[in-house]
């Protein structure tokens, strides 16, 4: 999905300048840095996972902490190397985003809502990266799409916090769910979902996308509305876990709508 988002960024750039070589570099960057960030997340969350999900690689003993760190370092090196081979702006953007992700894994996650916003930035960074890859600048069209993705992902992060209350208490993560309760987190997460839905016609109204964008994004919007209703009706950790996973489907559909709208 990260690589797909980079291609969306290229699609909505001014010049759509990409070739096989830069596409391969972009894939390696997306794959490498996402892999590294996920491995670091497992490393720093090992105590939390021991409570919430003991079957994960580190708490279950499938992999040692040192090997996880080595893997994270290797994939980060590969990803950043590919970014700098693409261009200096791409290298700098990838480096900045990776540092932000690493800081989140290290300590910004504990801040709760601020951490949610940081994760959402790393999710929309590929759109910006794609525009930089093509034009060495960021277009307003890309920023509009990034805004919608930012809102939707922030909703998912808030709701995701509802699933990890016990484990987050171990690491003292100040999520909305821990600080204000599950119903409050459900309301805030749903509010972000519904704001993204309300603003979803904006790219079409601003002539950023073609007409086919609307019917496809309407399916994604219906999914976000459904998840909002379900989590508001039943603000429990089990419900939140199911809906945060479903949200990945709605987000993929939204990405597809961006692609369809950009091409047609």
Judge whether 11 and 263 are in contact, CB under 8 Å: yes
Both tokens of 156, joined, read: 């998912």
Q: Which residue has the tokens 């599950």?
A: 182
Q: What SS3 state is found at 54? A: coil
d(Cα 131, Cα 120) in Å, to the nearest integer?
18
- Region 82-106 average pLDDT: 97
Distance from the Cα of residue 234 to its chain's centroid: 25
Nearest Cα to Cα of residue 141 among 205, 75, 82, 63:
205
Q: Count CB neighbours of 138 within 10 A.
A: 19
Both tokens of 95, joined, read: 């480096």
Examine the pLDDT at 52 and tell me if it is beyond 80: no
Query: Residue 47: what pLDDT?
Result: 86
Query: Residue 165: what pLDDT?
Result: 87
d(Cα 39, Cα 46) in Å, to the nearest integer?
11
Domains parsed from the chain with CATH numbers: 1-138 (1.10.357.140), 139-264 (1.20.120.1780)
d(Cα 188, Cα 224) in Å, to the nearest integer?
13
Beta strands, E only, the chain: none
Examine the pLDDT at 215 and tell me if it is beyond 90: yes
Examine the pLDDT at 48 and tell me if it is beyond 90: no
- Region 53-77 average pLDDT: 94
């Amino acid at each position: 999905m990260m690589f797909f988002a980079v291609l969306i960024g290229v699609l909505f750039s001014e010049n759509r300048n990409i070739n096989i070589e830069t596409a391969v570099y972009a894939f390696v960057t997306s794959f490498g840095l996402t892999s590294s960030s996920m491995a670091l997340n497992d490393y720093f969350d090992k105590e939390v996972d021991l409570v919430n999900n003991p079957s994960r690689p580190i708490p279950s003993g499938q992999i040692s902490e040192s090997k996880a760190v080595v893997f994270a370092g290797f994939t980060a090196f590969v990803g950043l190397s590919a970014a700098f081979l693409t261009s200096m702006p791409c290298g700098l953007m990838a480096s900045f985003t990776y540092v932000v992700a690493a800081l989140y894994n290290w300590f910004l996650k504990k801040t709760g809502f601020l951490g949610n916003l940081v994760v959402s930035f790393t999710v929309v960074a590929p759109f910006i990266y794609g525009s930089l890859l093509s034009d060495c600048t960021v277009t307003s069209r890309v920023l509009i799409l990034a805004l919608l993705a930012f809102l939707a992902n922030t909703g998912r992060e808030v709701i995701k916090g509802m699933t990890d209350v016990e484990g987050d208490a171990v690491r003292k993560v100040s999520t909305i769910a821990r600080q204000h309760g599950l119903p409050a987190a459900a309301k805030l997460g749903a509010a972000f979902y519904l704001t993204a839905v309300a603003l979803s016609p904006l790219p079409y109204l601003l002539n950023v996308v073609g007409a086919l964008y609307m019917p496809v994004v309407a399916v994604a919007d219906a999914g976000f509305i459904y998840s909002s209703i379900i989590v508001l009706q039943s603000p429990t950790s089990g419900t939140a876990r199911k809906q945060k996973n479903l949200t990945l489907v709605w987000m993929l559909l939204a990405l597809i709508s961006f692609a369809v709208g950009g091409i047609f």
